[in-house]
Structure 1
Amino acid sequence: MKQSTYHELNPLVRLKELELLSPEFMMRMLKSEDLTEIETLFRGTIYGEYLTDDFYESFEAALRQAQADLITELVKMIPDPNVIWICTMRHTFHNLKALVKADLLDKNFDELYIYDGFYTLEQIKTAIRTGQASGLPDILLESIQEVREHFEESNSLQGIDIIFDRKYLYSQRKIAEQINEPALLEEVISFIDFTNIVMTARGIKQKRKRNFMSTVLSSQGSIPKEELLDYVEVGLEQLTNYLRTTSYSEVIEPIIQNNTINLSQLERLGDDYLTSFYETAQTQAFGPLPVLALLNAKAIETKNLRLIITGKRVGLTEEQIRERMRETYAP
């Protein structure tokens, strides 16, 4: 099949944007009186066709399948598949974590597999079992090998997550550099920065040592890793004061309370900040930004729907759910 250009792909992207749920619809769901109303609204969306009779048993699968169908359609047309993979790579590394642990523990975690558009369950399991390519890129095979060597030396499952998380951020940076879209590279570097900030703040709260945090933080962001490490054994207030000297000063200011960053709001703030990068995509017709904006919007929509449905089910108030919701990309 002839590979489409972005000029040919982006009209499809615009059509798919029309399927995104509006902020007004999300507010209707949020203000629903009961779970029955939530279900009725959800069944009326594009996700409804994926549901079974048991709404609460199938809504999560419906969210995943709708996302998988979108990815499949876009992968067939995208000029550079890496543009899709940079968005779905989080699923790839999630799969590696789950399936490597399954292999090491002699368990079956196949149900944890999430479709990423590129690497099947069997491909990943074969690569883990044999160490051979099995269609996986070298960076994934290297990650698997490093994890195996770590486990043989330490017998620690915790190190598996640390290694894969660090490799994920490294891969994000390298793929963004290959795509060579300045706005995307800026977004990825900011994503790494926010990830490092969140992990540093958590490390402080958990009283982690500098040596441990040195293995956790990535060197791929714009904020020097060593500067963040200086605050690990000091405190959140000092970290907050340092962040006020960085390029993220204005961004974090709204979530600073009593001179300390509000950790519970930090991840939401990071998602909202990164979504803002895609506002420029509305005026572009030739590059990869519109498709990236669509995939980001779909991921945010999925997070918000899951939050509303689960939050309502466990009895969170409207305000508790609202303060956790991410801003949506408005085409």
Structure 2
Amino acid sequence: MKQAMYHELNPLVRLKELELLSPELLTRMVKSDDLTEIETLFRGTIYGEYLTDNFYESFEEALGQAQASLLMELVKMIPDPDVIWIYTMRYTFHNLKALIKAELLEQNFDALYIYDGFYSLDQIKTAIRTGQASGLPDILLESIQEVREHFEESNSLQGIDIILDRNYLNAQRKIADKIGEPELSEEVTSFIDFTNILMTARGIKQQRSRNFMLTALSSQGSIPKEELLASVEIGLEQLTNYLRTTSYAEVIEPIIQNNTIKLNQLERLCDDYLTSFYETAQTQAFGPLPVLALLNAKAIEAKNLRLIITGKRVGLTDEQIRERMRETYGT
């Protein structure tokens, strides 16, 4: 990929970065006395135009509409659409999960669809129903077929998430290799590693068998799958000790207590690590990293806003909200 191809897109990215909510504004929201005060602040942001009169019922839709608008704008200008899809693929596979289950259960889960910039609700539903659809890549059609074969053999929804999660990570690696940017490949590898670590930790907590985890974990990361599997039937302390021997030792140290990873902080740590990776994008003028950094920043912003709004509604303290918030781009 020729990085110079991005010289027209990245000025737009820099402008969009100016629309990101400041840490000061998020702090004001956290310190707000009630949802009414948060609503006033929220309506003054770029999300305000998408709100209806009922703030709590429409804020989620506002976040989604703002994201869709940004994706539409970026997709029109991106030199290589795969650069955006490697990020929004998480929404594509989310859509597959929801809509395949809807088809198998004969229910309507259309409301769960998330716009990914590329594949419409009708395209995915057609592919699930017929096994083919114009414009869908083979990796999605193959995933649908694999899930259908699993269901025909087992008549069970169990395993659908495992199949699609594994195929998602495989697709991440495949697209990163196709794009051929070393920095992007490094980010994807770290993302796969953290996903595997998180799944292993959850599997230990849920007392999953080694065979179950063998199916669930991806082989596309830098941490050997077999090394993670060795901890599955022993415990979190064994996993923690092993991770201390990897390149992520320094990263995970802050969430270790009594020689064991604090599982409730692991997902936040993953998000913060990948956000810090994108900090290098601030100095790049011509490559694909700035647009990916922007997409990551918007996703983190949405997570923080959901946390603040929902947290205030259910009565979390300011401190409880702050300790769950993700680090934001540029801070």
1:46 alignment partner, SS class: coil
Following superposition, the deviation at residue 178 of structure 1 comes to 1.1
Q: In 1, are the aligned partners of 2:124 and 2:133 still within 8 Å (CA)?
A: no
| TM-score relative to the length of structure 2 | 0.98
Aligned to 2:136: 136
Question: Which amino acid counterpart does residue 210 of structure 1 have in structure 2?
Answer: R
Q: In 2, are the aligned partners of 1:183 and 1:277 still within 8 Å (CA)?
A: no
Aligned to 2:247: 247
Q: Work out whether 1:179 is the aligned partner of 2:170.
A: no
CA distance in 2, matches of 1:249, 1:106: 46
CA distance in 2, matches of 1:313, 1:36: 11
Following superposition, the deviation at residue 156 of structure 1 comes to 1.6
Summarize the alignment of residues 228-243 of structure 1 with structure 2, pairs less than 5 Å apart: 228-243=228-243
Aligned to 1:92: 92
CA distance in 2, matches of 1:177, 1:299: 24
1:158 alignment partner, SS class: coil
Aligned to 1:222: 222
Q: What's the C-alpha RMSD, in Å, of the aligned pairs? A: 1.0
Deviations 1:293-327 (A, max 9, x none): 10110000000001100111111111111111100
Deviations 1:69-97 (A, max 9, x none): 00000000000000110111010001001
Q: In 2, are the aligned partners of 1:95 and 1:113 still within 8 Å (CA)?
A: yes
Question: Which amino acid counterpart does residue 121 of structure 1 have in structure 2?
Answer: L
CA distance in 2, matches of 1:325, 1:157: 33
Aligned identity (percent) is 85
Across the two proteins, how many residue pairs are aligned to each other?
328
CA distance in 1, matches of 2:97, 2:203: 21
Q: In 2, are the aligned partners of 1:126 and 1:134 still within 8 Å (CA)?
A: no
Deviations 1:135-186 (A, max 9, x none): 1000000000000000000112121111000000000111111111111111
CA distance in 2, matches of 1:181, 1:25: 35
| TM-score relative to the length of structure 1 | 0.98
CA distance in 2, matches of 1:85, 1:298: 15
Q: Which runs of 4+ in 1 moved over 3 A?
A: none
Question: Which amino acid counterpart does residue 280 of structure 1 have in structure 2?
Answer: T
Summarize the alignment of residues 116-135 of structure 1 with structure 2, pairs less than 5 Å apart: 116-135=116-135
Question: Which amino acid counterpart does residue 263 of structure 2 have in structure 1?
Answer: L
2:246 alignment partner, SS class: coil
Following superposition, the deviation at residue 66 of structure 1 comes to 0.2
Q: In 2, are the aligned partners of 1:47 and 1:66 still within 8 Å (CA)?
A: yes
Q: Work out whether 1:208 is the aligned partner of 2:227.
A: no
Aligned to 1:56: 56
Higher RCO (Cα < 8 Å, 6 or more apart): 2
Following superposition, the deviation at residue 224 of structure 1 comes to 0.5
Following superposition, the deviation at residue 108 of structure 1 comes to 1.0
Q: Which runs of 5+ in 1 are unaligned?
A: none
CA distance in 1, matches of 2:128, 2:184: 31
Q: In 1, are the aligned partners of 2:170 and 2:218 still within 8 Å (CA)?
A: yes
Q: In 1, are the aligned partners of 2:278 and 2:289 still within 8 Å (CA)?
A: yes
Following superposition, the deviation at residue 133 of structure 1 comes to 3.5
Aligned to 2:286: 286
Q: In 1, are the aligned partners of 2:219 and 2:225 still within 8 Å (CA)?
A: yes
Summarize the alignment of residues 1-331 of structure 1 with structure 2, pairs less than 5 Å apart: 5-330=5-330
Q: In 1, are the aligned partners of 2:92 and 2:119 still within 8 Å (CA)?
A: yes
2:240 alignment partner, SS class: helix
CA distance in 2, matches of 1:155, 1:183: 42
CA distance in 1, matches of 2:158, 2:62: 31
Deviates more, 1:99-108 or 1:56-65: 99-108
Question: Which amino acid counterpart does residue 154 of structure 2 have in structure 1?
Answer: S
CA distance in 2, matches of 1:85, 1:143: 17
Deviations 1:170-212 (A, max 9, x none): 0011111111111111111101100110110111111111001
CA distance in 1, matches of 2:32, 2:220: 43
Q: In 1, are the aligned partners of 2:300 and 2:328 still within 8 Å (CA)?
A: yes
Question: Which amino acid counterpart does residue 93 of structure 1 have in structure 2?
Answer: F
Deviations 1:93-136 (A, max 9, x none): 01001111111111111111110000000000111111113210
CA distance in 1, matches of 2:267, 2:307: 14
CA distance in 1, matches of 2:104, 2:194: 31
CA distance in 1, matches of 2:183, 2:26: 29
Question: Which amino acid counterpart does residue 196 of structure 2 have in structure 1?
Answer: N
Following superposition, the deviation at residue 38 of structure 1 comes to 0.6
2:247 alignment partner, SS class: coil
Q: In 1, are the aligned partners of 2:47 and 2:63 still within 8 Å (CA)?
A: yes
